[in-house]
Structure 1
């Protein structure tokens, strides 16, 4: 028998905020740090896109409220939408390290890290 865990609305909102913060941290990682995460269970080329898309859904559904300011969440949403406009062939390690759009996205993600006070936090913590 599988036991299900039910979260309160506040617990779910906190999990959504954690997920939003994690995707920002993931996009701030250097190509070397991304490569270190790559594994059979976490294929980086797919996981970065998949997590970006999933977290954008959390932002669109506003499940982060009231734990994150709406204007900040919306700016993060715009950032993630801009990344999802990158062609599929550029969602790979080689492009993460070389393409100017990915280099610029790391800068933007680092600005969000500063704004959110996430300095020193690692992905998945």
Structure 2
């Protein structure tokens, strides 16, 4: 599990997710970060058992921010019927089968074999 992730903009270490709205959010509790071997990042976040969003990103051309690729979500509203969406805003409803297929296409790629490097300021 990844607890934090930073890129270097030439001057300082920054969160690549700050423009995506994740400023101040720590990974590892209800927000998890995964890396796939095709360069895609998955951010999986939960707001309890009734709401779950999975956002997929890739590094932007500048090398220190991320660009959105795709989002899926599910929600269980007060009527207790689970609904699936092809976005984080709960507007584009899809079937559970479509939801699972979207997730599976990223899982099938496989997680990245990460080689960590450390930036040391002298």
> What TM-score do you get using the length of structure 2 for normalisation?
0.33
Task: Identify which of structures 1 and 2 has the higher relative contact order when contacts are C-alpha pairs closer than 8 Å and 6+ apart.
Answer: 1
Identify the structure with the greater helix proportion.
1
Identify the structure with the greater strand proportion.
2
Larger Rg: 2
